[in-house]
Amino acid sequence: GAAIETEEMKKSGIASSSIFAMWEKASKARKMDEVSTPNQTVAASSTCTSPVHIESNLQLVLWQEPESRGETSTPHVQHEQEPESRGETSTPHVQDDESIDEDDEPMQADLEALEHDPGMQIPISVYAVNDQDRVRRRYIEMGSCQPKNHKFKFTNKSGKECRFCRVWFKEFPWIEYSVEKDRAFCFVCYLFKDKTRCPGGDAFVKKGFNNWNMKSRLKKHEGEVCSAHAEAQEKYDRFTTPQTSIRESISSNTSQYKALYKQRLTWTLKCVRFLLRQGLAFRGHDESEDSLNAGNFLELLNWLAGNFEEVDRVVLKNAPRNCKMTHHDIQQEVIKCCAQETTKLVIQELDGGHFAILADESSDVYQNEQLAVCLRYVDKKGRAVVRFLGLAHVEDTTSLTIKAAIQKMLMDYNLTFAMVRGQGYDGASNMRGNVNGLKKLIMDESPSAYYVHCFAHQLQLTLVAVAKESGDCTWFFQQLAHLLNALGMSCKKMRMLRIAQAEELIDALELEEVETGSGLNQELGLGRPCDTRWGSHFKTVNHLISMYGALRRVLCKIGDEYHGVEAQAALSIETVFRSFEFVFMAHLMQEIFGYTDELCRALQKQDEDIVHAIELVRDTKYYLEALRTDAGWDDFLTKVTSFCTKHKIKVVDMEGPYFPVGRPRRGLCNGPINYHRFKVDMFVGVIDRQISELNGRFDEVNT
């Protein structure tokens, strides 16, 4: 008998434990999801012949899916099968995705990573309790997602093609549209709806509304004064106007304190705007009261307080210790507000019109990839302007990642790819690829978003290609690099170069080879040509020819006064420097880069149009082809010979054999004559390569 009693107690214990487990599970179950109307379940149940009264959450779960529990022992609860309602189908019960386990850690709010698209947003209840108001405040600052000029998709509803109407944004200010899911959501219900007092009716919060042919559902969602939406709207109004709340009325300060606070904030904001406009740093290494230099922000504020009594009365020492408004966090918050207001003016100037995207990525000092995005559009005065939109951190530089970053940045300001009418990137494959490039991905969504590569950038790429792919040009720029290394850019050698330039100028004035006047005969310097600095190659070659005599003097002086490696390097480069081949290549680079430099300057003008740019490219090709002719060769050779005669450089015999200077004779075993080497290989070969690069970069497909 004792054994039977013990076994019955065990069974009763198992049954009670399973009941408690189901009770806990039922407390976390999702409420009924009403796709069309909050009262759909009640209406459906009222039409049933035998209504089922669900009195508890436990019965809700047991009635919802009794087969999902398998063979586990459960209490016997009798239910009647609910027949289908007349004209309507009962809404299935699904698990609540907003219910979180008590053991789960609340999500920490990252205000910069909040999604503006309502279809991608995380429920407010997921965030930590102390962060929920900060998240709500950030969403209110961003505003509701209302892309008014988006090209809304058509959806078949009851045999009719329907879509979202943009006039609903004006008629229902609370409505949001998700570009990602093509559904409408309620902005105020997402932020402030009380799901404990008003369960159900979450079609405008969770999955979204897409019955575009049933506009009456929008008005039904608003409901009466006591509806869930009206209650959320009231909470929204109180949250956005805190001075009307009881807490604000009790803790309100005196009018005099508010006036002093406003003055302090005004002068802090003026200091921040001045430093931002000038691009100056804010902080100092030592910002203590005894510091001699506390940084630009504090020093500027201190200077204003020392010169104006009305400023000194409200800032720094005369301000409350807990409201000085000089902390780094306060500075960052004010800077962020300035950036938001500036971007807001840009969006207002755009006024919902079409625009082009200009984007490029680069790494910061921490080697993180940063994507910079600019908008190019026509303002209300008919001028084409370019405005900076923002920076975005990207994990990698793949086309999909860059597209997602640009799309999120545009969505933050209610802009979509459907409004894009142009694209401008560099020539990398991930940006301009015809298969999986960013250009192709955006054109799939907006076929009118044509891609145009920057003409000035394409021209620079042609110059870099010629300088690197031609063997003679590569040799010339290598010798130029050796020359810059020999000078060393030390103070003593730079002084020697200045003195040599002055001596050359005096000799030229005595021979009346140069003219005097304001702005003439300025001191020149040599800079290293860089692939990313446009026009640097032409500038370096131009200064090299102008300073040829002074550079030659300095190299000879370094070889005589210095010893060891520096003297040997100077003498070696001086041997190449006074050769006919080096002078020939220097003048050839000056001639070719001279034509392209004029084209580069013209292409960088803001008022340049694409038709005139194509004409300039065509003219440059014409001049290069004219230079390639026999007449162009004769004029060029006469110019080089005159320069060599002036600087006492031996001119080679064009009918004699070619002897290379400063490089091996490998590949020249047949002994070509100078005429073939200088005209065919160097002169004509470099010009043909330049014309070929221009034809390849500026063809009809790329332009």
Residues 351-373 pLDDT 10s: 888 999 998 888 877 788 889 99
- Residue 536: the pLDDT is 80
- Residue 113: the pLDDT is 80
- Residue 218: the pLDDT is 87
Cβ-based neighbours of 487, under 8 Å, separated by 6 or more: 493, 494, 497, 526, 554
How far is it, in rounded angstroms, from Cα 272 to Cα 279? 10
Residues 423-482 pLDDT 10s: 988 877 888 888 888 888 998 888 888 888 877 777 778 877 877 778 888 888 888 888
Question: For the residues of 338-405, what is the DSSP string, one character each?
Answer: HHHHHHHHHHHHHTT--EEEEEEEEE-TT--EEEEEEEEEE-TTS-EEEEEEEEEE-S---HHHHHHH
Specify the DSSP element, H or E, that contains 568. helix 565-577
- Residue 514: the pLDDT is 74
In 3D space, the residue among 613, 594, 593, 592 whose CA is nearest the CA of residue 604 turns out to be 613
- Residue 54: the pLDDT is 37
How far is it, in rounded angstroms, from Cα 607 to Cα 645? 45
Q: For residues 306-325, give the mean pLDDT.
A: 89
- Residue 335: the pLDDT is 92
Q: Where in the chain is the domain with CATH 3.30.420.40?
A: 351-452
What average pLDDT does the structure give for the chain?
78
Going 178 to 184 to 189 to 195, the CA torsion angle's sign is negative
The residue with tokens 């005894």 is 290
Give the pTM. 0.64
Burial class (CB in 10 A: 0-12, 13-18, 19+), 135: buried
Residues 519-540 pLDDT 10s: 777 777 777 777 667 678 888 8
Whether residue 72 contacts residue 95, with contact meaning beta carbons closer than 8 Å, is answered with no
How far is it, in rounded angstroms, from Cα 293 to Cα 295? 6
Going 209 to 211 to 213 to 214, the CA torsion angle's sign is negative
Q: For residues 33-47, give the mean pLDDT.
A: 38
Class of domain 351-452: alpha beta
